[in-house]
Amino acid sequence: MIQKKETLLEIHDLSVSFRMYDHGLEQTDLKVISDLHLTVYPGEIVAIAGSSGSGKSLLASAILGILPGNATVYGHISYKGQQLSAERQRQLRGTKIALVPQSVAYLDPLLKVGQQADGHKKPYPTEKRRSLFKRFGLPDKTEQLYPYQLSGGMARRVLVSTALITDSELIIADEPTPGMSLNQALEALKMFREMANEGKAVILITHDIDLAFEFADRVAVFYAGTTVETAPASDFKKGPNALRHPYSKALWRALPQNGFHSIEGFQPYAGNLPKGCLFAPRCPYKTSKCEEGIPPVTEVRGGEVRCYHVT
């Protein structure tokens, strides 16, 4: 685990809403992220875990400033201690902050893969890119192919390469491994680990939680658009007693190797969130206090958690 030092990325009380049409011409604000907290230090990998719809990919878009026009962002996002304004997001995007997007549709269908991966920076990093392609097991001819000629796994490996080839200080990898073989996924995560060891930071958004535990320094658990716990990755290896939040414990027990145990209920949808703690309707420890307000973020046993009953 890295030592505490100046943060690279710091997010406090982040909320994201979308202006939507409700009935006829009546508009409403649909809040999809609420009071989210996250801190990222140089030299670490922070994995973000949580079920679909918990706000993981939206967070990436909020950091990069690429949310659609009907989105409204509240809260505080700073990069190297300075507020991340829209202008600064434009300056950092693709230079100091790189994205490995979830969708392979980000590849331009009209450009050959090698040309896209090299980017616009001159001199073109062709040899570095070829070396990355080789590490990912991509054939030499890949650089001459168009995106439609790639398999899904090949396209994802190309997307990962385009981020690794930059001089970025922060890499946001949004589900980078689906479609890859186990060896290819391990190679990608190994390269992210190498970049973190060189002093860069990686936000790893993933459903491959088992792999994340092996390579990440910390794991942030998202639920219904907020952070419920951030803990050392080693705590997830120790088991539920080392974790702090009831949802984190349930997530651990839901893993196949831990019995695949599910809990009753479902994650609430945006626009129909419960009052107070968002996990309260499914929590076995719920009391009336849990319904009064969202628990504050507190430091417990080397991690951070939102829960009134944590010990």
pLDDT, mean of residues 208-226:
92
Q: Give mean pLDDT, residues 51-74.
A: 93
User: pLDDT at residue 270 above 90?
Assistant: no
Per-residue pLDDT, averaged over 206-220, amounts to 91
Mean pLDDT over residues 188-199, rounded? 94
Assign 3-class secondary structure to the chain: CCCCCCCCEEEEEEEEEEEEECCCCCEEEEEEEEEEEEEECCCCEEEEECCCCCCHHHHHHHHHCCCCCCEEEEEEEEECCEECCHHHHHHHECCCEEEECCCHHHCCCCCCHHHHHHCCCCCCCHHHHHHHHHHCCCCHHHHHCCHHHCCHHHHHHHHHHHHHCCCCCEEEEECCCCCCCHHHHHHHHHHHHHHHHCCCEEEEECCCHHHHHHHCCEEEEEECCEEEEEEEHHHHHHCHHHCCCHHHHHHHHCCHHHCCCCCCCCCCCCCCCCCCCCCHHHCCCCCHHHHCCCCCCEEECCEEECCCCCC
Report pLDDT digits (tens) over 21-31.
Answer: 877 778 888 89
pLDDT, tens digit (0-9, with 9 covering 90-100), for 195-211: 999 999 999 999 888 88
This prediction has a pTM of 0.92
pLDDT band at 2 (very low <50, low <70, confident <90, very high): very low
Q: What is the pLDDT of residue 226?
A: 94
Share of the chain above pLDDT 90, in %: 72
Check pLDDT > 70 for residue 279: yes
